[in-house]
Chain A
Amino acid sequence: MNDEAGATKGAVVVVSGPGGRLAAAVATRLAGDGYPVGIIGPEGAEATAAGLVSAGGRALGVTAEPSDRAALDDALAGCAGLGTTAAVVLAFYPTSASRSRELVTLDDHEWDSLCEAPIRWCLVGLQSAYQWLSVSGGAIVVIVPTVSLIGAEGHVAATTSGETQRILAKSAARRWGTSGITVNTVAVPLDTLADEAPGDPGVSAPLSLGPPALAAPDPAIGIASVVASLTGPLGGMVTGSTICLDGGAVMAP
């Protein structure tokens, strides 16, 4: 796979938690843009990769639980056949993230699955990505919901998780820059992260969100564009940043 200037594009590996609808869309977009793509997740990774290969792309899907560091290490190593890894995209979010729940109604298990488990997956994902990229550098991109930046009633757990992952990414950026690794966060609308549709029972847009200044964007296109920039012209210049891809609904800070 070559870019417009004829240079070989490095592979991009997309790692996700359960669900993974957005991860599959991002992988599809990246493959369409000519990137060799690795897809790692607990479900659907092989099927997504098979679809991309049958469409003429270079892709590899590996099933791995996001909490299993050894499995994640093996999966990333398995993607070596795609060529040098230029970027790892980490997209860990609860599958029911867009379902509104008041904090006082959550039991301990629900809190863990909505908030703390995705943080642990992100930590494991960051560590595994570091191990893989520390040899020759590269970009790590962490996906969080935009409402994490401003807060949202009914979504305390998911937004707390997002803010934690965002600052973990900042700390990683500060620590791993000398290894040639950039770490940035991309924020996308909450409903694009979850598996429910906006019209499903219990799913509502947070009141804190205003309308986007621009037409509602396709987050997969946006994420793929950010990855292209961070592995291309902006590589080595931007790290620790948060980029909002929601058409300007959230403009914090």
Chain B
Amino acid sequence: MSDLSGKTVVVTGAGSGVGRGLALACAGAGAQVVLGVRDMAKGDEVVARITERNGAAVAVESDVTEPGHIERALDLATDRFGGVDAVIHNAVSGQSSQPVALESAPLSLWQEHASVSITASFHIARSAFARLAERQGTLIFMTSPAGVDGSQQLSFYAAVKAAQRGLVKSLAREWGPHRVRVNAIAPLAATPAMDRAFAADPQLEGRIRGLIPLGRLGDSELDIGPAAVFLCSGDSRYITGQTLVVSGGRFTAG
């Protein structure tokens, strides 16, 4: 796996699910990790796990819809570890896995999705730019294959993930001259939300596995994490403006 020794990575939504896996993977590759979390108990658990493995991490309570919280996480990274080499925006709305009736869903629900994934993406990019430019760093958005294909049931989730892909393509062009790279990862991974869906519909997991050529859902740390580590590392220094689909072969279009 790529080496992140000496680098500092900020991960939003790092208390559980994919964000937790990304934080563990980045720390495992040698990075110092700042975990932005809504629930400090979950953040502390991940920090403890990283510390047990002789890694360095700190958690900070962070609601990405509050621009001040974003600044706080970036400041903490600078104060504690000396700077910011990578920011991974992973946080999503708590409503993201809930089906949406596109034809009748209220604007307030859209705003809930957009505030976390579109407005916050703008705030994170604007706030992080100077620090990333200082260290020729990288910005990564965790998007979704749904952001390429659309979704019959998760239309708002798909749309905000598309927004992040659009942001990546243009921002990569805008920040390239500053040697700041911008990429996205579109994972298909087991998450707590998916576990709940499987519990509610025991046959769902088998149906989903059947659609994945590699026959299983990705593990957040072991399957998705290495993609983030690679994109945070110098090994990907010539890659920008891309969406890396990490889905076991489930998604091949686009």
By CB atoms of chain A within 10 A, which of B104, B107, B129 has the most? B107
Cβ-neighbour of B170 out of A155, A169, A171 (below 8 A): A155
Q: How far is the CA of A207 from the CA of B172 in the complex (A)?
A: 13
The answer to whether A172 touches B166 (Cβ under 8 A) is no
Q: Which of A113-160 contact B (CB under 8 A)?
A: 115-116, 119-120, 123-124, 126-127, 130-131, 134, 147-148, 150-157, 159-160
Complex contacts, A126 vs chain B, CB 8 Å: 102-103
The answer to whether B170 touches A153 (Cβ under 8 A) is yes
Q: What are 23 A-to-B residue pairs whose CB atoms are below 8 Å? A: A102-B174, A103-B122, A111-B119, A119-B159, A126-B102, A127-B104, A151-B168, A151-B169, A151-B171, A153-B174, A156-B170, A159-B169, A160-B163, A162-B166, A167-B147, A168-B159, A171-B102, A171-B154, A175-B103, A206-B173, A207-B173, A208-B173, A253-B254
Q: Which of B118-154 contact A (CB under 8 A)?
A: 118-119, 122, 125-126, 129-130, 146-152, 154
Q: How far is the CA of A104 from the CA of B126 in the complex (A)?
A: 5
CB closest chain-A residue, reference B176: A153
CB closest chain-A residue, reference B147: A167
Complex contacts, B150 vs chain A, CB 8 Å: 167-174, 240
| A166 part of interface (Cβ distance < 8 Å) | yes
| A47 part of interface (Cβ distance < 8 Å) | no
The answer to whether A151 touches B170 (Cβ under 8 A) is yes
| A77 part of interface (Cβ distance < 8 Å) | no
| A164 part of interface (Cβ distance < 8 Å) | yes
The answer to whether A106 touches B166 (Cβ under 8 A) is no
Binary A-proximity of B162-189 (CB < 8 A = 1, otherwise 0): 1101111111111010000000000000
Complex contacts, A174 vs chain B, CB 8 Å: 150-152
Number of A residues whose C-beta is below 8 Å from B? Answer: 50
| B226 part of interface (Cβ distance < 8 Å) | no
> Apart from A156-B171, A163-B166, what 8 extra A-B contacts exist at CB < 8 Å?
A102-B174, A103-B126, A104-B126, A150-B169, A167-B158, A171-B102, A175-B102, A253-B254
Q: Which residues of B contact A (CB under 8 A)?
A: 102-105, 107, 110, 114, 118-119, 122, 125-126, 129-130, 146-152, 154-155, 158-163, 165-174, 176, 241, 254
Q: How far is the CA of A169 from the CA of B163 in the complex (A)?
A: 13
Q: How far is the CA of A207 from the CA of B129 in the complex (A)?
A: 21
CB closest chain-B residue, reference A206: B173
The answer to whether B174 touches A170 (Cβ under 8 A) is no
Complex contacts, A116 vs chain B, CB 8 Å: 114, 118-119
Q: How far is the CB of B93 from chain A (nearest CB, A)?
A: 15
Q: How far is the CA of A123 from the CA of B106 in the complex (A)?
A: 10
Complex contacts, A103 vs chain B, CB 8 Å: 122, 125-126, 129, 171, 174
By CB atoms of chain A within 10 A, which of B105, B119, B130 has the most? B119
The answer to whether A170 touches B149 (Cβ under 8 A) is yes
Complex contacts, B151 vs chain A, CB 8 Å: 171, 174
Q: How far is the CB of B126 from chain A (nearest CB, A)?
A: 5
Q: A116-B118, A164-B163, A171-B152 are in contact. Are A106 and B170 (CB under 8 A)?
A: no
Q: How far is the CA of A131 from the CA of B159 in the complex (A)?
A: 20
The answer to whether A120 touches B107 (Cβ under 8 A) is yes
Cβ-neighbour of A152 out of B114, B163, B173 (below 8 A): B173
Q: How far is the CA of A119 from the CA of B158 in the complex (A)?
A: 13
The answer to whether B126 touches A151 (Cβ under 8 A) is no
Q: How far is the CB of B254 from chain A (nearest CB, A)?
A: 6
Cβ-neighbour of A168 out of B125, B155, B168, B170 (below 8 A): B155
Q: How far is the CA of A123 from the CA of B159 in the complex (A)?
A: 10
